[in-house]
Structure 1
Amino acid sequence: MATFITPPLSLPHHTNLPNSTSPNIDNDRYFANHPTVLLISQCTSLKSLKQVHAQMLRSGIFFDPFSASKLITASALSPYSSLDYARQVFDQIPQPNLYTWNTLIRAYASSPDPTQSLLLFLQMLLQCEHFPDKFTFPFLFKAASELKAFRVGRVFHGMVIKASLSTDIFVLNSLVHFYGSCGNLDFAYGVFLKIPRKDVVSWNSIIMGFARGGYPEEALDVFRGMEKENVKPNDVTMVGVLLACAKKLDLEFGRWVCSYIEKNEISVSLTLSNAILDMYMKCGSVEEAKKWFDRMQERDIFTWTTMLDGYAKLGEYDEARRVFDAMPCQDIAAWNALISAYEQNSKPKEALAIFRELQLRKDAKPDEVTLVCALSASAQLGAMDLGRWIHVYIKKRGIKLNCHLTTSLIDMYSKGGDLDKALEVFCSAESKDVFVWSAMIAGLAMHGHGRAAIDLFSKMLEAKVQPNAVTFTNVLCACSHTGLVNEGRTLFYQMEPVHGVVPGEKHYACMVDILGRSGLLDEAVELTEKMPIARTASVWGALLGACRLHGNLELAEKACSNLLELDPRNHGAYVLLSNIYAKTGKWDRVSGLRKVMRDSGLKKEPGCSSIEVNGVVHEFLAGDSSHPLSMEIYSKLDEVAARLKSVGYVPNKSYLLQHVEEEDMKEQALNLHSEKLAIAFGLITMVPSQPIRVVKNLRICGDCHSVAKLISRLYDREILLRDRYRFHYFREGNCSCMDYW
């Protein structure tokens, strides 16, 4: 450590002090061999360190910069360290030396609150007589990396250049790591190229930066360059290379890397062992992952979670649960892996069952990830009671609403049918990123508030928030649901030139839907022909849906043919074309399509509707008779049917997918649709003041739409029905969609 001249000290008289107390002596290391200072290295607990601190105060050597720095190091960096205590000690030092400043900056950089590292640095600039050195900046870059504080790091980079430290290998390596962590890989690679003598840390930093930043091929290219330069890789290098293999899903190269590790006798640390396991799992080789897992002599929570997460994402839920139950310690990351796997694979009921189990077990507390997953599952299922409970839980626990949680709450309330609450969450949010704005625009869109969605999009631009591809998908959907053709057309053609967002397949599909719904089929076809990207199944699906609305059989057959060419297993295409044939009375063609589906082993996705009553979600399939209250439900349906007929209701039989000769059988088939069963259940179990909220997995059919409108008037009930695409809010015989859907 470099020595520094400190200001004169007035030390208390003590029999153990050296005789010479010249005011100008260099006090650093003066007391290095003092018995009390030597005791610091022997401390094994914070209590014993505090006892040494007390002795140092009594003897006066605490005011010696070197002695104080030793105490700070133990307080901040030892296994029993306490940053709070270290800071209290630091604040008592009259004039800390540079080493002491650096030590505390380093400790804060690795702490849960790296911001304190930056604040301490600012204090250092004001109070320390020495300029930051080559040891200061790597810690600052680490703190900036943790905070993803790109602009702050750029300022530090400028200071490095000004201090003539831009050739120091430690500083440059930390810079590469910083830029990589912030996702600016061009800057990271630029700094890497300027390192005159690259060491293994230099290569590791850029390999890891590319691998984590989503550029696995570049990471592997750098690794090959490292080999050409004859720089011997270590276990950290191989972790980065394996991460790149996992991102590329390149199992063969991953196997080669494992052989390379063995051949070059690279030490296999636990971190590297976990990386090998992760590579096998992500590349889909469960057997090799299992073999490696069984070989591992040391395992940590990451090891177990990797196996759990891998099985869960592959849909092997029984194996995932077996691993979970075998874990020696089930931390919240393990619970999250299981919950998110179900939630992301459209199994919201199972996800919420695991979430409830977590609450009952109480061996881990839900964190932000848990709550986001649970809210998403609640949104999928329409489980508003649980969603509201989670919101209350967040408030009671004092959990700060970051953008992830805010987005999830908006999504949950929007999909649960409580748009006012979604808007309340949005308006009260302190921080709104592009995903928060996009979620609220989506909420307005699905509820049929097209104008409001466009107005919110304008406010987003006024707030200087840059829209992304998701934002435009949502706002174009809003235009589609409410027939805002001109507005949609304007937004679509402004995407790239004004906002720099290149239209993708979803945006073209939305635009085709906007034009097609409004009857502008020729313009929709022209748009598909001029698309600069390949026409996808979603684009042809949008055109086919428009043909169903407007009865254009010839174009429908063309769109269906193209759709099935791209996606031969798309049962929805057959269903849509069957609907068009049925609408025009071409039952022979309906039968022909059904035969093709049977011969191909394709089945129409069964309609499923769910309704939440007193916190319990009840599900109904078409024609379902498994519910405990099935007799009461069908009795209610008979009553409803009689009341509907009394006011002139005539069933729309074109929504049947097969030709049924007997008229009463046609009516019965329509009466068994899942949403009607769910509504009937709501009528017999919920008080009149409660809105009936139904979630359907498919698009609501026209007959069910007409029936829901009439029920809302005849029974004076509010019915909120969410289908696959949007919300229908039935009240007093009307629907919020204004029959434009």
Structure 2
Amino acid sequence: METLSTPLPSLPRNSTSLTVKNDHDHDHPVFLHIKQCTNSSQLGKIHAHMLRTGLFFDPYSASKLFAASALLPFSSLDYARKVFDQIPKPNLHSWNTLIRVYASSPEPLQGILIFLRMVHESPYYPNKFTFPFVIKAAAEIFSLCVGQALHGLAIKASLGADVFISNSLIHLYLSCGDLDSAYRVFTMIGEKDVVSWNSMITGLAQRGCAEKAFQLFQEMEEEGVKPNDVTMVGVLSACAKKLDLELGRWVCSYIERKGIRVDLTLSNGMLDMYTKCGSLEDAKRLFDMMEEKDIVTWTTMLDGYAKLGEYETAKQVLDTMPRQDIAAWNALISGYEQNGKSKEALSLYHELQQSQIAKPDGITLVSALSACSQLGAMGIGECIHAYVKEQGIKLNCHLTTSLIDMYSKCGDIKKALDVFYSVDRRDVFVWSAMIAGLAMHGQGRDAIDLFSKMQETMIKPNSVTFTNVLCACSHAGLVKEGKTFFNQMEPVYGIRPGIQHYSCMVDMLGRAGLLEEAVEFIEKMPILPSDSVWGALLGACQIHGNVELAELACRHLLELDPENNGAYVLLSNVYAKTGKWDGVSRLRKHMRVTGLKKEQGCSRIEVNGVIHEFLAGDNCHPLSKEIYSKLDEIVVRLKSAGYVPNKSHLLQLIEEDEMQEHALNLHSEKLAIAFGLQYVEVSQPIRIIKNLRVCGDCHSVAKLVSRLYNREIILRDRYRFHHFSGGNCSCKDYW
């Protein structure tokens, strides 16, 4: 089979004439019949006639038939290829036509392979029509190296200045993400046409260079090149990327002033700009005025409502759409998921499956898996994974990453590893997701080992990879290793540490009890410490009961974020741990006066595909009576085993011992454990997702319950996983 393993050859210096033409050929009536063909059957009859009369064996005549078989509306690529293969000596026009149709087909690679055959087998020199087609094929497969080789061949053929070839090269480089090369080609075009400007403006806008795109639009006007509707779509895209509503409105008025033709694509571009810039009022006005609407129009409007949190309206748009394709469902499912409404996202996903209106695609599944990750809904996540297998959906890197993330965050690191090792292709995001999974499960050494294997495969780590590696070191107490990785980031890997990396280092030093070193590290930071840095130090002070540094960290944290209720809670916990109940009362009073409230503890547990949610002190669950009865039984068994409540984890001083114990027993994870003991099968672990850091008392209770009831409990808190079994925790009390 032909491949691209052979380098592109040097082209011959001398060219041969395009065709062998005879005067009678131009007037041959068969050519008129070819032009008048309306279906493949007619074309087949003409083909047979040309073979019988021998006319087919003239290269010029054959090229006429082949062009019709390849380019007419009813044409078939398979049939066209058979016609081409029958031509004894295809002329250059036929070669170019075949490359052209493959470049626009689902098999663009074949266009490049045909080009190689042409260079090797034919006497013809590629001309100014050949290069745009084959360059397009290279762009379709995102092959930068092939594109660069073709660029070199075009220059060698003295065609580098041709505007059509240059425009193709701009498209190629932009498709491959090489903005610098695209811009160099653009600047070297002598007389740029509107396509040159449009390609560059649109390419820059789509790749996040909105300022440069708008600057080019202004230069285009100065050069006297009249913008068209395609130009304005690119400029509107730049406005949307900048989130600049006023500039977007100016562009819309410019379109009207200049009399630029507004077709459906341009109307959709304006609508997209309005929704992305947050002006649903402008978007709705335009939407109502549009005489023609397509699926893009409806989906853009739906997406706008979803992203601004107007979910009921977005659902109404979905329900009233003339045709619901998967993009519309994806917009709403993704809107729910990205705004923390995971239950609603999964509910809509189930509605989609039951309705069978559209078939879930990779984007749908990634959003649904992300919702499962947030909720800890492994049962639903497993069903989605099973659907992927049943439908024969190939695991691309996005889907692989989502599955690894889902299994990791739902507490089954083994299944996450199974997914990781089951795929052949792993990009940096797949590796990073697996390292993150090991990190959150406290398997720091395994995470570091995987990072080493990643480098052996020549995958270059990115900023996220290092965040995950440093988190792994922090959760496992690997301070020496963490320091080494941090110090290697810029000199060895060329990645400048960001604020998230500094936060990880402070967290790592603080957890290990190196509080003074953590403060010194903060003081030497080359960038201003963020709230996450001071929050990491404050959290470490809570663990180690350092009041002085806790007050320092809290003061800096509140300067950056005055309404951070978590800062007051953490400092209060430090006061409670050290018995400074006057400090607890003072903070409690301040929070009451200022209206700040402690984030309520919430724990989720999935049973038979249903998510059960418990709040601290919750009695709203339909089975509350049974749950509290079970909780009373647990407390009795715990006390008989020597359990003593750790009352330092109360936010405020409660004088009566009985009330202190009752307050501790109302923690949401204890309610979830009681529910799990009753309703999760004995053979299955009890999986709980907690929105806050698990407190020390609940941690002790979970350890004891795992031994007394012989049950495995897997609890995910805000920072990591705890696997309780036989009276022990995987964190080894280091969390």
| Letter of the 2:446 counterpart | A
The Cα of 1:594 is off from its aligned counterpart by 2.7
Query: Are residues 48 and 650 of structure 1, via their aligned partners in 2, closer, same or farther at CA, if it must alter by over 3 Å?
Result: farther
Matched, 1:615 2:609: yes
Report what 1:327 is aligned to: 321
Aligned length: 721
Instruction: Please point out which of 648, 651, 658 is paired with 2:652.
Output: 658
Matched, 1:509 2:498: no
| CA displacement 1:84-132 (0-9 Å, x = unmatched) | 3333333333332222222222222222332222222223223332122
Counterpart-to-counterpart distance in 1, 2:600 and 2:56: 77
Report what 1:572 is aligned to: 566
Query: Are residues 530 and 511 of structure 1, via their aligned partners in 2, closer, same or farther at CA, if it must alter by over 3 Å?
Result: same
Percent identity between the two aligned chains: 69
Query: Are residues 116 and 374 of structure 1, via their aligned partners in 2, closer, same or farther at CA, if it must alter by over 3 Å?
Result: farther
Instruction: Please point out which of 662, 668, 672 is paired with 2:662.
Output: 668
Report what 1:310 is aligned to: 304
The Cα of 1:590 is off from its aligned counterpart by 2.2
Counterpart-to-counterpart distance in 2, 1:595 and 1:41: 88
Q: Superposition pairs for residues 294-693 of structure 1, below 5 Å?
A: 294-693=288-687
The Cα of 1:169 is off from its aligned counterpart by 0.6
- Secondary structure of residue in 2 paired with 1:695: strand
Counterpart-to-counterpart distance in 2, 1:468 and 1:322: 41
The Cα of 1:612 is off from its aligned counterpart by 1.4
The Cα of 1:52 is off from its aligned counterpart by 4.4
| Letter of the 2:674 counterpart | A
Counterpart-to-counterpart distance in 2, 1:63 and 1:390: 57
Counterpart-to-counterpart distance in 1, 2:311 and 2:29: 61
TM-score normalized with structure 1 length: 0.94
Q: Indicate if the aligned counterparts of 1:185 and 1:210 stay in contact, CA closer than 8 A.
A: yes
| CA displacement 1:375-395 (0-9 Å, x = unmatched) | 111122111122222222222
The Cα of 1:712 is off from its aligned counterpart by 0.5
Gaps of 5+ in 1: 7-24
Q: Indicate if the aligned counterparts of 1:609 and 1:674 stay in contact, CA closer than 8 A.
A: yes
Counterpart-to-counterpart distance in 1, 2:595 and 2:106: 55
Counterpart-to-counterpart distance in 2, 1:633 and 1:258: 60
The Cα of 1:497 is off from its aligned counterpart by 0.6
| Letter of the 1:26 counterpart | K
Of 484-493 and 616-625, more deviation after overlay is shown by 616-625
Of 72-81 and 469-478, more deviation after overlay is shown by 72-81
The Cα of 1:175 is off from its aligned counterpart by 1.0
Counterpart-to-counterpart distance in 1, 2:720 and 2:219: 53
Q: Indicate if the aligned counterparts of 1:32 and 1:38 stay in contact, CA closer than 8 A.
A: no
Q: Indicate if the aligned counterparts of 2:18 and 2:93 stay in contact, CA closer than 8 A.
A: no
| Letter of the 1:203 counterpart | W
Report what 2:10 is aligned to: none
Q: Indicate if the aligned counterparts of 2:475 and 2:734 stay in contact, CA closer than 8 A.
A: yes
| CA displacement 1:225-258 (0-9 Å, x = unmatched) | 1111111111111111111111111111111111
RMSD: 1.9
- Secondary structure of residue in 2 paired with 1:609: strand
Report what 2:21 is aligned to: 26
- Secondary structure of residue in 2 paired with 1:430: coil
Counterpart-to-counterpart distance in 1, 2:450 and 2:399: 20
Instruction: Please point out which of 705, 708, 721 is paired with 1:727.
Output: 721
Instruction: Please point out which of 121, 131, 134 is paired with 2:125.
Output: 131
Counterpart-to-counterpart distance in 2, 1:5 and 1:715: 86
Query: Are residues 624 and 81 of structure 1, via their aligned partners in 2, closer, same or farther at CA, if it must alter by over 3 Å?
Result: farther
| CA displacement 1:126-168 (0-9 Å, x = unmatched) | 3332122211221222222222211111111111111111110
Counterpart-to-counterpart distance in 2, 1:380 and 1:524: 31
The Cα of 1:57 is off from its aligned counterpart by 4.2
Q: Superposition pairs for residues 213-224 of structure 1, below 5 Å?
A: 213-224=207-218
The Cα of 1:3 is off from its aligned counterpart by 9.8
| CA displacement 1:273-311 (0-9 Å, x = unmatched) | 111111111111110111111111111111111111111
Matched, 1:92 2:86: yes
| Letter of the 2:227 counterpart | P
Counterpart-to-counterpart distance in 2, 1:605 and 1:704: 17
The Cα of 1:433 is off from its aligned counterpart by 0.8
Report what 1:249 is aligned to: 243
The Cα of 1:56 is off from its aligned counterpart by 4.2
| CA displacement 1:161-211 (0-9 Å, x = unmatched) | 111111101001111121122221111111111111111111111111211
The Cα of 1:326 is off from its aligned counterpart by 1.6
Counterpart-to-counterpart distance in 1, 2:451 and 2:196: 44
Counterpart-to-counterpart distance in 1, 2:531 and 2:680: 41
Query: Are residues 87 and 674 of structure 1, via their aligned partners in 2, closer, same or farther at CA, if it must alter by over 3 Å?
Result: farther
| CA displacement 1:615-670 (0-9 Å, x = unmatched) | 22211111222222221111111111100000110111111112222211211111
Query: Are residues 554 and 319 of structure 1, via their aligned partners in 2, closer, same or farther at CA, if it must alter by over 3 Å?
Result: same
The Cα of 1:81 is off from its aligned counterpart by 3.5
| Letter of the 1:357 counterpart | E
| Letter of the 2:394 counterpart | K
Of 509-518 and 82-91, more deviation after overlay is shown by 82-91
The Cα of 1:50 is off from its aligned counterpart by 4.1
Q: Indicate if the aligned counterparts of 1:434 and 1:468 stay in contact, CA closer than 8 A.
A: yes
Q: Indicate if the aligned counterparts of 1:36 and 1:55 stay in contact, CA closer than 8 A.
A: no
Counterpart-to-counterpart distance in 1, 2:420 and 2:267: 44
The Cα of 1:37 is off from its aligned counterpart by 3.4
Instruction: Please point out which of 269, 277, 300 is paired with 2:271.
Output: 277
Gaps of 5+ in 2: 1-14
